[in-house]
Structure 1
Amino acid sequence: MNAYRAKPLKYPWPPMLYLVSILTAMLAGRIAALAPIPSPNGFLLPSIGLAIGLAALTLDIWAVRTLMERQTPVLDSRCARHLVTCGPFRFSRNPIYFAYTLFTVALGLISGNSWFFVAALVSLAATRLIAIPREERHLEARFGFDYESYRRRTRRWI
C-alpha cells in the first residue's frame, strides 16, 4: 500500500461525532425522554457514573500524554510520526475513542438520561465505520509489518 495515498482523515471526525451525539442526547432527553434509569439508591448510579467518567477522563489524558511524549499528533487528521504501542495503547488500539464512549455512558448514569446510551452506541458505530478503517489503512501503509504485528496482538477496544 502506498503510504502517500493512505493519508489519515482530513477532518477529526470522532471528537465531533461524540460531541454531536452528546448534545443530541441532551436535547432528546428534554424533548422525548426515554424511561428513566431505575436506581435503588438515589446516589448509586450517579456515583458509578462519576467513577466511570473519572476513569474515562484519566484514560483520555493518559493516551493523549503518551502520544505527545512520542511526538505523534493527537488529532487523527495529521500524519502519524511514530507507531505508539506503549501506555494505554498496550491494551487498546483506540483508547481515546474508548474513553469517549465511557464518558458518554457516564453522562447517562449521572443524569439518568437513557439517550446517552443510545448516543454512545451510535457514536461508537459511526467512529468504527467512518474513522477507524481510514486510520488503520494509514498506519498500515506508514508502518507496515510493525503495525500488522501490533494489530494482531492488541485488541481494538479492550
Structure 2
Amino acid sequence: MNAYRAKPLNFPWPAVVYGAAALTALIFNRFFPLAVANGNGLLAWLTGCALIFAAISIDLWAVKTLLDRHTAILPTRCATCLVTCGPFRFTRNPIYLGYTLLMIGIGLITANPWLFIAAIAAVGLTTVFVVRNEERHLLSRFGFEFERYCRRTARWI
C-alpha cells in the first residue's frame, strides 16, 4: 500500500488517550488528593461550564464541517479532502482541542487538579502518537496544499 492510500491510524488512539488520562486523574484524585483553594467556587464552576460548552460546540462544529465536506471523521479513515474552513481555520486539531477543554472544564467544576495535569499529558501524547501520524497522512495525500495550510494555521491554538 502506498502512502497515498495509507490510513493515518490503525486504532482510534485519541479516545483511548483522553479516556485513560481522565480515568488516571480520577484515580489519582481518589488516592492522592491535592489541596485546592476554593475561594472562588462559583467562578470556577461558571468557568468550567463555559469551557465545557465551548468544547462541545467546537467538537460539534468540527464534526459538522467534516460531514459537510464528505471526508473522514474517524482517525482510522483516509481523508478524502483537506478541510481548512470552519474551526479548522483556527486550529488544525479542533476535535482534540475540544477534548482538552472538556477535561479542563470538568477539572474546574469538580475541583480536581489532576485533570489539568492529565489534560497536559493527553495533549503531549496525542501530539506525539496521533497528530504527527495524521499530519504525515495529510502531507502524503495533499502535499503542498497541506504544507501551506500548516504554515498559516496553528497545530493547537
- TM-score range (shorter-chain normalised) is over 0.9
TM-score (norm 1): 0.94
Supply the distance in 1 between the matched residues of 2:55 and 2:105 (Cα, whole angstroms).
Answer: 9
Supply the distance in 1 between the matched residues of 2:54 and 2:104 (Cα, whole angstroms).
Answer: 12
- Count of aligned residue pairs for this structure pair: 156
Match of 1:122 in 2: 121
Alpha-carbon displacement from aligned partner over 1:30-89 (angstroms, at most 9, x marks no partner): 1111122x2323311011101111101100110011011111111111100110000000
The Cα shift of 1:144 comes to 0.8
Supply the distance in 1 between the matched residues of 2:63 and 2:99 (Cα, whole angstroms).
Answer: 12
TM-score (norm 2): 0.95
Supply the distance in 1 between the matched residues of 2:38 and 2:4 (Cα, whole angstroms).
Answer: 53
Paired letter, 1:77: T
Confirm or deny: 8 A CA contact 2:66 2:73 kept in the other structure: yes
The Cα shift of 1:12 comes to 1.2
Supply the distance in 2 between the matched residues of 1:109 and 1:88 (Cα, whole angstroms).
Answer: 24
For 2:52, what is the secondary structure of its paired residue? helix
Match of 1:47 in 2: 46
Match of 2:3 in 1: 3
Identity of aligned residues (%): 51
Confirm or deny: 8 A CA contact 1:6 1:137 kept in the other structure: no
For 1:39, what is the secondary structure of its paired residue? coil
Supply the distance in 2 between the matched residues of 1:155 and 1:40 (Cα, whole angstroms).
Answer: 35
Supply the distance in 2 between the matched residues of 1:134 and 1:21 (Cα, whole angstroms).
Answer: 20
Unaligned 5+ runs, structure 1:
none
The Cα shift of 1:111 comes to 0.2
